Structure 1
Amino acid sequence: MVAFGRWIDAHGHLADVRWDGQQDTIIEEARTKGIHFFMQGGVGPEDWDRQKELHKKYPQHIGLCFGLHPYWIVDHDEDQCEQALDMLARRLPEAMGLGEMGLDFRPHIMKDSQDRQITMFEQQLELAHISSKPMVLHLVQAHEQSLTIMDLFGIPQQKGMVHSFNASWGKAQDFLKRGLFLSVGGPVCRPENQKLHQAVKEIPLEFLLIESDSPDQAPPAYKGRLNPPESIWEVAKTIGELKSLDPLEILDITTGNFHRLFGSTNEILVPAKGV
């Protein structure tokens, strides 16, 4: 069992500008609830810089993750994307993970970026093959396209995780067959989300992670506010109910899974006062 106070939020965005001035408070609140490590999701070069500043302040608690998010790609042209990709290759050794990377084909998100998204996804897959960094995948309304591309380029030896998995058991199996972990967040707490509930019941525990995606995707208990990392307790409770396990056991198991994927963080984690 993992010692109380060493649980992990597998994906969030504490460097998001919406949290500016509040990070001290939300990190301490999470630590008092036993959550001590916060893996970030990369967006683009500006976000990587903000992550590094946060990491300097909390080196024992922040996991760096650099990548070109589909959202960033949508807002930048081909030349800007290529320049950022070159920068990513140089800066990736500083990070624990490569991402967010992937495809988001929702029409209101995609606009005219489909070809750029595909090109950047392919190039980041190539970068994953030559690096030692697990992937953090953002895949939305692009299931078949993403599988085709990953099968063409091959899944890197370091594997990776599908962040904010929110789909059927059939789609979960497609990722599991390729050795990918599935990270589940706030959407599983919605009572009407039966498709995801059925998938979570079937997903093997050894391939499951939990995340906040802070400050987004708040569970119902946090509706109307920025979503803090501590909300993974709500995720763990719901998954525990679905799998007939104590939420503490879910937190222990998913923390162990994170270590298997990204490497141990035990040597840099220290308990908070009173935890």
Structure 2
Amino acid sequence: MFVDSHCHLDRLKQGPEALAETLNFARTRGVEHFLCVCVSVADFDSMREAVVGFDDVSVSCGVHPLHQDEACTYDELLEKAQQSDVVAVGETGLDFFYSPESKDVQLTSFIDHIKVANVTNKPLIIHTRDAREDTINLLKEHKEPSTKGVLHCFTESLEMAQAAIEMDFYISISGIVTFNSADELREVVKEIPLERLLIETDSPWLAPVPHRGKQNQPGYVVEVAEFIADLKGISVKELARITTENFYTLFALAKKSAA
């Protein structure tokens, strides 16, 4: 069984009835759990409302670094993140590729998220792009030793992955690994220890080969798993087992399927 460790179900371009069909399609392909990740605290309540009827969907709470126009205070973030159905803090992080002009506010927001994760004892979901040094340094400075997390949709260097793993983080790989332009990423993925690996779709974006050009969806995490299993030289079944166990180890509050 697979887990989509990072998707944005509320951002899919479809109606509420279609969401049920989308999740059912994923279930028929062996996907047993979905983590719906928040990108704006202002939208948290509506995001949660969209998925509240699905027992196999968990939610996070946070502000994406590219959504700083919807930034919130530390107290607002803490109030939402400490709710019992929230399994993680984020997504948060730093993106100096698309928004270098908002660096200062991104830094402040990221620190707030780290501190909220420390207080709530919930893992961090981190987006990072062109901000390797700042991301690692802020984690080293502000993260409590017991706080864990994941660098999601990872496209950075092996050195950064290793630095994060040393801080008890996981590395999550999306459909980008299947792209023709992802030779460097594939070499990194080969070196990431299986016990620190997660898989995701980041849907509705970044559909993997052979679905490029389509809206991504959680069922396509199977193609991500198949591709990574081939890179690692193991069976898809084994890759699914390991990454699913890793997911529930990291996101301990997520409800594991009874099946």
Is the TM-score greater than 0.5?
yes
Residue 111 of structure 2: aligned partner: 122
Residue 263 of structure 1: aligned partner: 252
Residue 64 of structure 2: aligned partner: 69
Residue 185 of structure 1: aligned partner: 174
Residue 194 of structure 2: aligned partner: 205
User: Given the alignment, which residue of 80, 89, 93 partners 1:102?
Assistant: 93
2-structure distance, mates of 1:41, 1:212? 11
Residue 21 of structure 2: aligned partner: 25
Residue 157 of structure 1: aligned partner: 146
> Does structure 1 residue 48 correspond to structure 2 residue 39?
no
Q: Secondary structure at the match of 1:161?
A: strand
Distance 1:128 1:264, change over 3 A: closer
> Does structure 1 residue 146 correspond to structure 2 residue 135?
yes
1-structure distance, mates of 2:255, 2:49? 22
Computed over aligned residues only, the root mean square deviation of the Cα atoms, in angstroms, reads 1.7
2-structure distance, mates of 1:184, 1:163? 7
Once the 2 structures are TM-superposed, how far is the Cα of residue 246 of structure 1 from its aligned partner?
0.8
Task: Point out where structure 1 has 5 or more consecutive residues left out of the alignment.
Answer: 1-5
Distance 1:52 1:9, change over 3 A: same
Report the residue type matching 1:23 in the other structure: L
User: Given the alignment, which residue of 53, 56, 60 partners 1:57?
Assistant: 53
Is this contact kept in 2: 1:69–1:101, CA < 8 A? Answer: yes
Once the 2 structures are TM-superposed, how far is the Cα of residue 205 of structure 1 from its aligned partner?
0.5
Once the 2 structures are TM-superposed, how far is the Cα of residue 209 of structure 1 from its aligned partner?
0.3
Report the residue type matching 1:30 in the other structure: A
User: Given the alignment, which residue of 35, 38, 42 partners 2:34?
Assistant: 38
Kindly, what percent of the aligned residue pairs are identical? 32
Once the 2 structures are TM-superposed, how far is the Cα of residue 150 of structure 1 from its aligned partner?
1.3
Q: How many residues align?
A: 256
Residue 72 of structure 2: aligned partner: 81
Q: Secondary structure at the match of 1:18?
A: coil
Once the 2 structures are TM-superposed, how far is the Cα of residue 270 of structure 1 from its aligned partner?
5.2
2-structure distance, mates of 1:32, 1:264? 24
Residue 8 of structure 1: aligned partner: 3
1-structure distance, mates of 2:15, 2:144? 36
* Alignment TM-score, normalising by the size of structure 1: 0.87
Report the residue type matching 1:45 in the other structure: V
Residue 158 of structure 2: aligned partner: 169
Task: Point out where structure 2 has 5 or more consecutive residues left out of the alignment.
Answer: none
2-structure distance, mates of 1:215, 1:9? 12
2-structure distance, mates of 1:181, 1:114? 25
Q: Secondary structure at the match of 1:260?
A: helix
User: Given the alignment, which residue of 239, 251, 257 partners 2:240?
Assistant: 251
Report the residue type matching 1:244 in the other structure: G
Distance 1:20 1:211, change over 3 A: same
Deviations 1:88-130 (A, max 9, x none): 2111123000000110101xx3153111000111111111111
Distance 1:69 1:53, change over 3 A: same
